[in-house]
Amino acid sequence: MAEIIYQIPGFEKGYVQSVCSSYEAGAIYLAAQTVSDLLNKWNTNVAFFSLSSRNEALQELVKADSCFARLFTVNQKNHNLQVIIRKAKGMIHRKSVRVIVIEGLSGLDATGKRWLEQLAKSTQTSIIVISYEQK
């Protein structure tokens, strides 16, 4: 009998993970690898918010072999965190997104972290914030 997995290892529901890359291109490659694993290995719908207008680069790098999972990308021009959270809530409820990846969000203060944690806990999703160090 097949086992149903309700929890994806490494992407716990209700948690926010922050990942920092040392350069810009590394951040998009890291995001592409993470999204590919979620789509193909775990058949999970993923929302990708790019604050640096790199969703086309991500779509070229992601291998989407799953028949069930979908990738929803947004080129986010407004960097206001409340706008991103509002859009993410809509995707969670309308498109059954279970993992949210936000690329290019830097300088997140304590209030912003708390807002993301509240979103993750209230919707039982996993949020991954990928940023890069600007030298």
pLDDT in tens, 72-90: 999 999 989 999 999 999 9
Is residue 98 within 8 A of residue 73, CB to CB? The reply is no
SS (HEC) of 69-135: CCEEEEECCCCCHHHHHHHHHHHHHHHCCCEEEEECCCCCCHHHHHHHHHHHHHHCCEEEEEEECCC
CA distances to 9, 47, 63, 99 from 36, rounded to whole Å, are: 15, 12, 6, 12
**Distance of alpha carbon 31 from alpha carbon 28, whole angstroms:** 5
- 3, pLDDT greater than 60: no
What is the pTM (predicted TM-score) of this model? 0.90
Say which CATH architecture domain 16-132 belongs to: 3-Layer(aba) Sandwich (3.40)
Instruction: Give the tens place of pLDDT for each residue, 28-44.
Output: 899 999 999 999 998 89
With CA atoms as reference, report the closest residue to 100 among 78, 66, 124, 79. 124
